[in-house]
Amino acid sequence: MDCVNIGGLRVARTAVLAPMAGVCDYAQRVLAREFGAALTFGEMVSSAGLVYGDKKSAKLLVSTERERPYAAQIFGNNPDFMARAAEIALEHEHKPDIIDINAGCPMPKITGNGAGSALLRDLKLLGEIITAVVKICEAGKIPVTVKIRTGWDFATINHIETAKLCEACGASAITVHARTREQFYAGEADWSRIAEVKQAVKIPVIGNGDVASAEKCKAMYEQTGCDLVMVGRAAWGAPWIFDEIKEFLTTSQTQAPLALPKKLEIMSRHVDLLIADKGETVAMKHARAHIAKYLRGVRGAAVFKNMCSHLSTREDFLRLVEKIKTDNDL
């Protein structure tokens, strides 16, 4: 399998796990790596939260060897805070392999504070942030990457200008989510924008948007010339997609759909990993949304998903699994 070099870190050219807030915690990252994700990104972490000593923000930085290679993503609108946040991340016993700067999150609570994709409207500030973070990370020999969108809206498409800025300020790679902020996650991703960025810069480009299958992953590689492909929502409740992608890229063979018993086995392992990481009470609240995703396409899914909203203990979960098996003649 070919590899791409991101600031000295060699990453297999298969697919990487996207940094989805509320989704890509320890359990999701471990499963993604076990199924062959070439790189995992953690949930975005507030730079201000880290600087002010917020325990929840600090907890989001915790990683293990099982998730490597691992990228920690930070967000904010203050160069000094972003630099200090990177410094704090690198002080961790298990420091990340990459520091990723979020310039793509479209959520109002992030953009309303001038962070995330709001930085696409202030490239001077984005450049100052990248420069400040790169200065810190160079000392620790950790590459810095940036995740962007194609622009704030269709009237202000500026992905090429943004990508060139990222490169000039020292970023080792760029991830392009091929939508504008205005689109959020709706409509089709415009892969041609990824191809344009790839032609405009010399550093690696990671393509993101609408990769929901192994076939789509290969198509993105072929149509854009990108160096890596990032998978987000399609991996939620289906971490085995990374194994399917690796197999298809290697052999052009499509794997048979995973049987329900195997899906339930992986889902159960996901819940156990959540409990081990967060404790049963907190874990089961987080597990509800994950379990609902695992149940996509399962016979009787509407009833099971309704049951998910009431899960409070592992025993509740085990009863749900038994009902799924019974109702599906397993």
326: burial class by Cβ within 10 Å (0-12, 13-18, 19+)?
exposed
Tokens of 97: 């392999």
Active site residue 166: no
Selecting among 105, 137, 217, 226, the annotated active-site residue is 105
CA dihedral sign, ordered 233, 36, 147, 217: negative
State which H helix or E strand residue 73 sits in: strand 70-75
Place of tokens 């690198």: 90
Nearest residue to 78 via CA among 35, 36, 118, 29: 118
- Give phi and psi for 190, each to the nearest 5: -95, 90
CA dihedral sign, ordered 148, 10, 30, 62: negative
Contact between 137 and 169 under an 8 Å Cβ cutoff? The reply is: no
Tokens of 24: 């890509």
Nearest 5°: CA angle at 24, between 328 and 244?
Answer: 55
Active site residues: 105
